[in-house]
Amino acid sequence: AAIRALAEAFPGSPLRLDPNGAWSVPTSLYVAEQLKGVLEYLEDPTSGTDGMAAVAAGTDVPLATNMCVTTLAEVPEAFARDAVRIVLSDHHYWGGLHRTRELAGICRTFGVGLSMHSNTHLGISLAAMTHVAATVPDLAYACDSHYPWQTEDVITERRTFTGGRLTVSDAPGLGVDLDRDRLAALHRRWLEDDGTHRERDDAAAMRVADPDWTTPAVPRW
């Protein structure tokens, strides 16, 4: 219902759904059937290449991943089994900008789409992502970015999205300047942290809204 409401509120806008591998294969197929023609793609509805291949075989909704294809060694099986239609790359865990371009070439060869994953990056990472994305000739899917949610940065001038787009800077390097005072302040905060912010704890975050929350087993449904 929520996805359909979004489709009605923002007609023509591409919608994506990411259960982070939490669904069973039957649940994934049920949701895919209900949202056929609504979703641009369904990201990691179930866990692992086996599950993704089973879902892909039963639906026309494109499946994307940043969980079951995260290294070049995982590409052959996933592509041979048609487990994914879009790979969400990330220049951090794929090994840099050149390796991301290598992945893009492999995807293009096998007719698999490419997009880019974001995980609360700051301006330097966003600039790198923008530059490498601009070099991919057939990047048919908009890249993810959590940057608009970030309230702090380590560059002198925040990057600004206009109509969902970023301008590729023609300044030297990545086109951003490091704010060393902000970097030092955030570094001090990191050193002084007692672990509250340093270690990710999704269950604790959920308990802010629901004090009785416990992390369920996967698949959850």
Give the DSSP per-residue string, 118-140: -SS--HHHHHHHHHHHHT-TT--
* Tens digit of each residue's pLDDT (9 = 90 or more) over 122-137: 999 999 999 999 999 9
Q: Which long-range contacts (CB under 8 A, 24 or more apart) does 58-64 make?
A: 58/29, 58/32, 59/29, 59/32, 59/33, 60/36, 61/32, 61/35, 61/36, 62/86, 62/113, 64/16, 64/88, 64/113, 64/115, 64/141
* pLDDT at site 194: 86
**Does the pLDDT of residue 197 top 80, yes or no?**
no
Flag whether 35 is in a domain: yes
Flag whether 215 is in a domain: no
Number of domains in the chain: 1
User: Whole-angstrom distance between the N-terminal and C-terminal Cα of the chain?
Assistant: 17
Q: Is the pTM of this model over 0.85?
A: yes
Percent of the chain with pLDDT over 90: 81
* pLDDT at site 106: 97
d(CA 139, CA 184): 36
Environment class of residue 169 by beta-carbon count within 10 Å: exposed (0-12), middle (13-18) or buried (19+)? middle
* Tens digit of each residue's pLDDT (9 = 90 or more) over 144-177: 999 998 889 999 999 999 999 999 999 999 999 9
Flag whether 138 is in a domain: yes
Flag whether 22 is in a domain: yes
Q: 48: pLDDT confidence band, cut at 50, 70 and 90?
A: very high
Q: Give every CB contact of residue 115 below 8 A, 6+ residues apart in sequence.
A: 64, 86, 87, 88, 89, 139, 141, 142, 143, 144
* Tens digit of each residue's pLDDT (9 = 90 or more) over 69-102: 999 999 999 999 999 999 999 999 899 999 999 9
Q: What is the mean pLDDT of residues 97-114?
A: 97
Tell me the one-letter amino acid at 169.
S
> What is the token pair recorded at 2?
């929520």
CATH number at 71 reads 3.20.20.120
* pLDDT at site 105: 97
Q: 219: pLDDT confidence band, cut at 50, 70 and 90?
A: confident
Flag whether 217 is in a domain: no
Q: Give every CB contact of residue 85 below 8 A, 6+ residues apart in sequence.
A: 41, 56, 62, 63, 64, 112, 113
**Does the pLDDT of residue 218 top 90, yes or no?**
no
**Does the pLDDT of residue 202 top 90, yes or no?**
no
Q: What is the mean pLDDT of residues 96-118?
A: 96
Q: The domain containing residue 21 runs over which residues?
A: 2-209
Flag whether 219 is in a domain: no
* pLDDT at site 97: 96
**Does the pLDDT of residue 205 top 90, yes or no?**
no
